[in-house]
Structure 1
Amino acid sequence: MDTRTSQTPEEELQHFKEVSQPEDFEHPEPDEQQPEALEPDHGLHWVLPVVVAIVLVAGAAFVMLKG
């Protein structure tokens, strides 16, 4: 990483060109080719449907027992 605080006008122009270009999805950056980037998500995305189902069953049971 470059820790210099001042840049030449050419360096500033080059940096501006690099950050102003849109992301190229057809040619991903090298870090996207790393094995850890290709691993599936091991998060808790399956919890939401289970919680919604439990709440719906509990709500239906409450309505049936109350009425």
Structure 2
Amino acid sequence: MDTKESKTAQEEYEHLREVRMPEDFEHPEPDEDQPEARTPAKGWHWLLLATAVLAGGFLVYRLLSALWA
């Protein structure tokens, strides 16, 4: 048995408007319950940069040592 009610045009419009709009214009900041969402990641980009620089230096060293040998 089908118990689904059909929506009127106004109800359909309200539903589409609610779905397409963000939930909260008043408080765009993350919730207090999510401190990790408010704080930026610390140190990971520096670790990645240092690893890339070390790997590049090692490759240059290996290339130059192979050319001089």
* TM value normalised by structure 2: 0.52
**1:10-25 alignment runs, 5 A limit:** 10-21=10-21
In percent, how many aligned pairs have the same letter?
A: 31
Question: Aligned-pair distance for 1:39?
Answer: 2.4
Q: Which segments of structure 1 move beyond 6 Å, counting only runs of 4 or more?
A: 22-26
Structure 2 unpaired stretches of 5+: none
- CA–CA distance in 1 between the matches of 2:5 and 2:48? 50
- Structure with the bigger RCO (C-alpha within 8 Å, sep 6+) is 2
Structure showing greater radius of gyration is: 2
AA at the equivalent of 1:12:
E
2: CA distance, partners of 1:12 / 1:28: 26
Match of 2:56 in 1: 56
Q: Aligned residue pairs: how many?
A: 61
